[in-house]
Amino acid sequence: MTFRARPARTLLLSTAALVFGLLAAPVTAQEKPKDHADDPAAAYEPSMTTLAEIQVEIPGLKPDDPVMTQEEFQRATEIYFQRCAGCHGVLRNGATGKALTPDLTRANGFDYLKSFITYGSPAGMPNWGTSGDMTEADVDMMARYLLLEPPAPPEWGMPDMKASWKVIVAPEDRPTEKMNDLDIENLMSVTLRDAGQIALIDGGTYEIKEVIDTGYAVHISRISASGRYLFVIGRDAKVDMIDLWMEKPGVVATIKIGIEARSVETSKFEGYEDKYAIAGGYWPPQYVIMDGNTLEPLKIVSTRGNIYDEQIYHPEPRVASILSSHFKPEFIVNVKETGKILMVDYSDLKNLKTTEIEAERFLHDGGLDSTHRYFMVAANARNKIAVVDTKESKLTALIDTGGQTPHPGRGANFTHPVYGPVWATSHLGDETVALVGTDPEGHADYAWKIVDSFYALGGGSLFIKTHPNSQHLYVDATLNPDAEISASVAVFDIAKMGGDPAVDPEYTTLPIGEWAGIPDGQPRVVQPEFNKEGTEVWFSVWNAKDKESAIVVVDDKTLELKHVIKDPRLITPTGKFNVLNTQKDVY
């Protein structure tokens, strides 16, 4: 067993949110052409309510406050929400980014703020001024804005949800059997980030079957237990439910569950298949359990509360990832700022039972082990993985990964030649891959420990992936500042991982970006995803909105290029979710 702590080559960009969340402005629904007149879903107009549409009142000014007009305050609030809130929090209490409450900003002063916003910092603050993302006047305005108290965005309770909720095709008007010839299990749901859409692509023919309007920057796709319904959630907190059985798959229900959000999931426990959906909000900090057939909002639960260790109140504990338990009728809800994992029992919503597990701050994303009993989630800014026993609803372990800012996505499960079943994560902040033993019965000595840690291509990794039918482990380096690295992927041969523990396993570098053959921009390679059979791996080659992007398909056996998908509709493709693998939690 080896565990090597090495000086990390910390990245300038230390969080996916910087790129996933902030580098582009929303495209409004109006910009998108509507051409499916015979589609029942055509009546549906996605709403894009953002803070820009909500009147924010300037707080009362004190004698030493900087001068700011109502118009400036409104615009600054919107810019803050778009660019800054992801890292610093809506109420500026800090998370991945520093706290920016007026007591702190005033101590630093206007000039300091202006310079910081203009030039950024090596710790991860982007150079909004010199990058051209903000004008000099905007930077000036934002510096003044930060000296004022932050306005709290509006709440978003049941009346708001109900007002935003639309059933486009009622359950009784939906088909009773599959009405199309799609190979649903092998569909890929691909986020077209800046277009506010997803594409459904055939995993066998690589053909784009549908492009569907959704919320902005869809964060994830999830599949109902039956495999029929696809749920997506935009960063604008818009949830869309897509019926894959319809002749032309489309949105059958939609709801806006807040102002900003990241996660959606559906009930998977036996007897509750397709019964409920759940979505978690960044703002307001809450989750909502919905009817799995219509998205009717049923129960909203606030996550406001105390940080697990310091036990001081946090006004903005955001809901990060949500997963469905296979062992109980429970959703696993990860609350970022308070570091709590909530096991939410959905068997009785009127007498809602929740187990609040003290884990670690800054919970982000995670996945199940190969048996589906244990859930592993990264507490990213604390460099830890929390392990939850979903059968007992208890914390099993808290593991320091030895790396900087683990970012597993759902992680990768495989059987290591020496350590047995392991779950792997890569890191945003350095180049290491860490393996956690996940077999307390067969390999008790290795269970819930970092059994090995080794180098991949470079820092800035967002996702890691394998498949039960594959002998390869793929690691991207999407946010690496080096263009060549960010366009490549490291592939490890699992069978060869059992060598000298003092020597890192070797990896093959696949020049995915080069294979895509895109002449313009600096496309980054992100998120390996297997097809249904686990024989091919798909990579997004993600370029700027106005430039060509692509999806590159690699043969898992030979590691050779199999296909490049290019299409004018493939605008900023990021996450891809194979229906069967997502439905069955195979990763």
Please identify every residue annotated as catalytic: 84, 87-88, 125, 364, 407
Report yes or no: 366 and 358 within 8 Å, Cβ to Cβ.
no
- The tokens for 440 are 């307390």
Q: Which of 4, 29, 36, 65 binds its own copies (CB under 8 A)?
A: 65
Cβ-based nearer residue to its own copies, 8 or 301? 301
Cβ-based nearer residue to its own copies, 203 or 285? 285
Span interacting with its own copies, options 23-31, 178-186, 354-362, 379-387, rule CB under 8 A? 354-362
Report yes or no: 345 and 387 within 8 Å, Cβ to Cβ.
no
Minimal distance in Å, beta carbon 354 to its own copies?
A: 6
DSSP one-letter string for 267-292: --STT-TTTEEEEEEEESSEEEEEET
Minimal distance in Å, beta carbon 222 to its own copies?
A: 23
Quote the DSSP letter at residue 506. P
Question: What is each CA distance from 199 to 181, 458, 547, in whole angstroms?
Answer: 17, 30, 17
Is residue 163 within the footprint of its own copies (CB under 8 A)? no
Residues numbered 225 to 284 that lie near its own copies (CB under 8 A) are: 284
Binding mask 384-403 for its own copies (x = CB under 8 A): ---------xxx--------
Cβ-based nearer residue to its own copies, 91 or 553? 91
Measured distance CA(388)–CA(398) in Å, rounded: 9
Q: Which of 247, 358, 484, 567 binds its own copies (CB under 8 A)?
A: 358
Report yes or no: 41 and 169 within 8 Å, Cβ to Cβ.
yes
Cβ within 8 Å of residue 259, ≥6 positions away: 49, 50, 51, 81, 153, 154, 156, 236, 237, 281, 282, 283, 284
Q: Which of 69, 121, 311, 508 binds its own copies (CB under 8 A)?
A: 311
Cβ-based nearer residue to its own copies, 155 or 484? 155
Minimal distance in Å, beta carbon 183 to its own copies?
A: 40
Is residue 357 within the footprint of its own copies (CB under 8 A)? yes
Cβ-based nearer residue to its own copies, 208 or 301? 301
Binding mask 482-521 for its own copies (x = CB under 8 A): ----------------------------------------
Report yes or no: 576 and 527 within 8 Å, Cβ to Cβ.
yes
Q: Which of 112, 121, 313, 482 binds its own copies (CB under 8 A)?
A: 313
Residues numbered 279 to 308 that lie near its own copies (CB under 8 A) are: 284, 286, 297, 299-302, 304-306
- The tokens for 405 are 């800012």
Is residue 155 within the footprint of its own copies (CB under 8 A)? yes
CA-based nearest residue to 462, from 400, 380, 561: 380
Strand pairing report for 384-389 and 305-306: unpaired
Q: Which of 7, 122, 159, 519 binds its own copies (CB under 8 A)?
A: 159
Across 137-170, b (16+ Cβ under 10 Å) vs e yields ebbbbbbbbbbbebbebeebeeebbeebbbbbbe
Is residue 70 within the footprint of its own copies (CB under 8 A)? no
Cβ-based nearer residue to its own copies, 287 or 492? 287
Q: How many CB atoms lie within 10 A of CB 260?
A: 24
Binding mask 81-120 for its own copies (x = CB under 8 A): ----------------------------------------
Quote the DSSP letter at residue 504. P
Cβ-based nearer residue to its own copies, 225 or 377? 377
Is residue 31 within the footprint of its own copies (CB under 8 A)? no
Q: Which of 172, 177, 348, 441 binds its own copies (CB under 8 A)?
A: 348
Q: How many residues of this chain interact with its own copies, rule: CB under 8 A? A: 37
Is residue 347 within the footprint of its own copies (CB under 8 A)? no
Minimal distance in Å, beta carbon 332 to its own copies?
A: 13
Is residue 66 within the footprint of its own copies (CB under 8 A)? no
Across 3-32, b (16+ Cβ under 10 Å) vs e yields eeeeebeebbbbbbbbbbbbbbebbebeee
Minimal distance in Å, beta carbon 51 to its own copies?
A: 18
How many Cα atoms sit within 13 Å of 400 on the Cβ side?
4
Cβ-based nearer residue to its own copies, 59 or 171? 59
Minimal distance in Å, beta carbon 521 to its own copies?
A: 43
Minimal distance in Å, beta carbon 355 to its own copies?
A: 5
Residues numbered 423 to 462 that lie near its own copies (CB under 8 A) are: none
Q: How many CB atoms lie within 10 A of CB 573?
A: 30
Minimal distance in Å, beta carbon 97 to its own copies?
A: 22
3-state secondary structure of 465: strand
Task: Walk across the sheet containing 573-578 and list its strands.
Answer: 208-213, 197-202, 187-192, 573-578
Minimal distance in Å, beta carbon 49 to its own copies?
A: 17
Question: What is each CA distance from 421 to 117, 330, 466, 580, in whole angstroms?
Answer: 46, 25, 13, 22
Cβ-based nearer residue to its own copies, 393 or 581? 393
Report yes or no: 287 and 254 within 8 Å, Cβ to Cβ.
no
Minimal distance in Å, beta carbon 350 to its own copies?
A: 5
- The tokens for 408 are 């597993």
Residues that bind its own copies (CB under 8 A): 59-62, 65, 149, 155, 157-159, 284, 286, 297, 299-302, 304-306, 310-313, 348, 350-358, 393-395
